[in-house]
Structure 1
Amino acid sequence: MNTVVIAQNLEEELVEKVKQTFNGWNIITGKDEEQWGPYIKDAAVIAGWKNAMTPYLQDAHSLKWVQSWSAGVDKHPLDEFKKRDIILTSANGVHAYPISETIFSLMLGWTRKINAYTRHQQSKTWHHAGLSLELHGKTVGLLGAGAIGKETAKIAKAFGMTVKGFRRSGENEEYFDEMYTLDNLLEILPECDYVVITLPLTDETNQLFTSAHFSKMKESSFLVNIGRGEIIDESALTRALQSSEIAGAGLDVFEKEPLPEDSPLWEMENVMITPHTAGSTEHYNNRVIEDIFLKNAESFLDQQLLPVNLVDYDKGY
């Protein structure tokens, strides 16, 4: 019997929808290794790939399709998948609403001094904290114009912001005032009051943001990274923050996670930290299953090209 392994704890309603689509297939669900481990060797489809599955891969001779539970696929064994012609689809698009909300919570938290007021509340201190900034009318540079970047740009326009985008193709996109390639980044950074990184981690973006980039940013600028920690040279970022080369940063991702306790970023008053939770949402499982997995499943069962979030191994996303 053909087998689908979904290494997540799903609501019964979603399990039933999967069973209806994969009629007659063996459907295995559950996060724990003892739940999915015995079935990997027979699985034709795996949704919710985990690092712990990699040792099982050598015996997974039936595997044809992997559905990532995250937008980023940099932690997957891409070379092995490519060599074995295993189809990979990402969860890109699931995070557009929660992550764009996180981006603006960080930008607004910084701009309206919510981070300072939270500290003051803990010490029962009544202090103005020098509140003066507004988002309205400012310029934001968005690195990445995928689902997250587009939703962020849409919200930015509601604040009357100028949106400068950066993407591999440089192709124009709705809600962006101007679009550039990453080759133009150093040139445009001095114009940005906020810089937001939503890029995936690839060979091209690894350590993309260096001390040279921080030196081009405004001293008043605020950086947000919800992409991957490795996109930024974290030591250079730390120095830029310590020396007031930039004003502050909102960080959801880091080169090493969890962020080590001895990282100076923890203690900086101009840094706002979230623990890689920007994409968390009450609707996560529903969106992965209904908007991506089941739509692709219909094409998979018909032996057609999968239409949603098919990963290009050469690009890395």
Structure 2
Amino acid sequence: MSDDLRLLVLAEDPDAVVSAIERRFTGLRITTVAQFDKLAEAIGSDPHVAYTERFQEGPFPRDVLFSQPSLRFVHASGVGVNHLVPWDPARVDVCNAAGVQDEAMAQFAIARLIAMTCHFFRYHEQQMQRIWKRHDALRSTGGTLTVGGLGRIGQACARIAGSLGMTVHGVKARVEAVPGVARVVGPDDINDVLAVSDYVIVVTPLTEATRGLIGRDAIAAMKPGVMIHNMSRGGVVDEAALVEALGSGHVRAASLDVFETEPLPATSVLWGMENVHITPHNGIMMTWGDYIHDAIEVFLANLDRYINGIALENVVDPFRGY
């Protein structure tokens, strides 16, 4: 099968991806694309398989990609696939790189919460101004954390938080027991756990079901003085409602890695808020090179399964978004 297989590589550094593929497989017919706007020119190769990275700003060329009737398997190098929705799961399998960044993203999230509770950001600002001033740190031990989204990353967050002495609640589409999580609720009952939580981590994928999950009502239901870290997708959190809550002090501080519009416009009020800490959608504690290396390995394992007629792993349901 590999001798007849046509493979498309849409990546920032396609040669590196091809090198990794050719170290494991021979005889593949590979077409490479390094720019989104060049995909239409290359798609005529009638690929069976596509390896894709979302490495440029702007719309992903999903319509061009899925226009090919020959396409059977698409690999997304990240976890989120909302840029690929919709697709016909009866015709093509879309798989993601779930598992690659679980620990790294969880470490990033917990580190950001600790940085806020211990005033690390404020102390750095004081250092730049040569100011010697102490601030009372908040205790994370004994605190309560709600994790919105209990997939692999959310469960890793729960495990790390538990090891720090925190009580963890979680929100999950299908309510079921999760190790290390004291209480699991469905989206309809999210306010119940938000009301008793000192910290909130949002890590759910963006789907039609989760869009606006952390909306005005949910934010109002949060415990006064709550701290939030959002590393899901911007559309999950109502940005305007969050800005209001940050301004009033109802939300003490927020660490934001994702936004409704990306890159975050220079005109956004979030840039100037002292209790907001911004990162440019890169919430992983590992280098990009290490991440892509691991993501390619996930793809290669699935490519081997595809070639040998074995069921793929990390297949995403387009209706659930994960």
TM-score by length of 1: 0.91
Distance 1:212 1:36, change over 3 A: closer
With 31-40 and 62-71 compared, the bigger mean Cα shift is at 31-40
141-150 vs 169-178, greater mean Cα deviation: 169-178
Residue 288 (1) aligns with residue 292 (2): no
Residue pair 1:41, 1:56 contacting (<8 A) in 2 also: no
Residue range with higher mean Cα deviation, 17-26 or 270-279: 17-26
Code of the residue aligned with 1:230 in structure 2: it is G
Select 1:139's aligned residue among 144, 147, 150.
144
SS of the residue aligned with 1:133? coil
Is 1:24 the counterpart of 2:42? The answer is no
Contact preservation (8 Å) 1:153, 1:163:
yes
Mapped partners of 1:311, 1:203: distance in 2 = 15
The alignment status of 1:112 with 2:115, answered yes or no, reads no
CA contact (8 A) 2:108 2:285 kept: no
Q: What SS class does the counterpart of residue 98 from structure 1 fall into?
A: helix
Contact 1:226 1:278 in 2 (8 A): yes
Aligned to 1:75: 83
Show the 5 A alignment for 1:115-264: 115-128=121-134, 130-264=135-269
- Structure 1 residues 303 and 234, CA, compared in 2 at 3 Å: closer, same or farther? same
Partner of 2:52: 48
Letter in 1 for 2:246: L
Letter in 2 for 1:86: V
User: Per-residue CA shift, 1:237-277, capped at 9, x if unaligned?
Assistant: 00011011121111000001111112111111111111101
Percent of residue pairs bearing the same amino acid type: 29
Given the superposition, is the C-alpha separation of residues 73 and 52 from structure 1 closer, same or farther in structure 2, using an over 3 Å criterion? closer
Q: Deviations over 1:196-220 (max 9, x none)?
A: 1000000000111112111111222
- Residue identity matched to 1:284: Y
Q: How many angstroms apart in 1 are the aligned matches of 2:168 and 2:177?
A: 12
Residue 111 to residue 58, structure 1, CA distance change in 2 (3 Å): closer
Query: Deviation of residue 20 (structure 1)?
Result: 4.7
Structure-1 separation of matches of 2:137 and 2:66: 59
Q: State the SS of the aligned residue for 1:39.
A: helix
What's the CA shift for 1:104? 1.6
Greater mean alpha carbon deviation, residues 293-302 or residues 29-38: 29-38
Question: 1:22-62 CA deviation, whole Å, 9 max, x = no partner?
Answer: 43102344533588654322221111155453353375232
Per mean C-alpha deviation after superposition, the further-off stretch among 52-61 and 106-115 is: 52-61
Q: C-alpha displacement at 1:311, in angstroms?
A: 0.8
Q: Is the 8 A contact 2:114 2:140 kept in 1?
A: yes
- Residues 29 and 35 in structure 1, CA contact (< 8 A), matched pair in contact too: no
**Distance (Å, rounded) in 2 between the aligned partners of 1:175 and 1:223:** 20
2: CA distance between counterparts of 1:35 and 1:203?
A: 30
Is contact 2:33–2:42 with CA below 8 Å preserved after alignment? no
CA distance in 1, matches of 2:156, 2:60: 33
Structure 1 CA distance for aligned equivalents of residues 48 and 100 of structure 2: 24
Cα shift at 1:174 = 1.8
8 Å CA contact 1:41, 1:61 repeated in 2: no
Q: 1:188 to 1:52 in 2, by over 3 A?
A: closer
1:253–1:275 CA contact under 8 A, matched in 2: yes
Q: How many residues align?
A: 311
Runs of 4+ in 1 over 4 A off after TM superposition: 33-38, 49-52
Task: Please list the CA deviations of residues 269-306 of structure 1 after superposition, one character each: whole Å capped at 9, or x if unmatched.
Answer: 1111111010363321222121x212211221123321
C-alpha distance in structure 1 between counterparts of 2:115 and 2:109, whole Å: 10
Q: 90-99 or 151-160, which moves further after superposition? A: 90-99
Q: Using a 3 Å threshold, how does the CA distance of structure 1 residues 103 and 26 change in structure 2: closer, same or farther?
A: same
Amino acid at match of 1:103: A
Structure 1 portions without partners, runs of 5+: none
1:316 aligns with 2:315: no
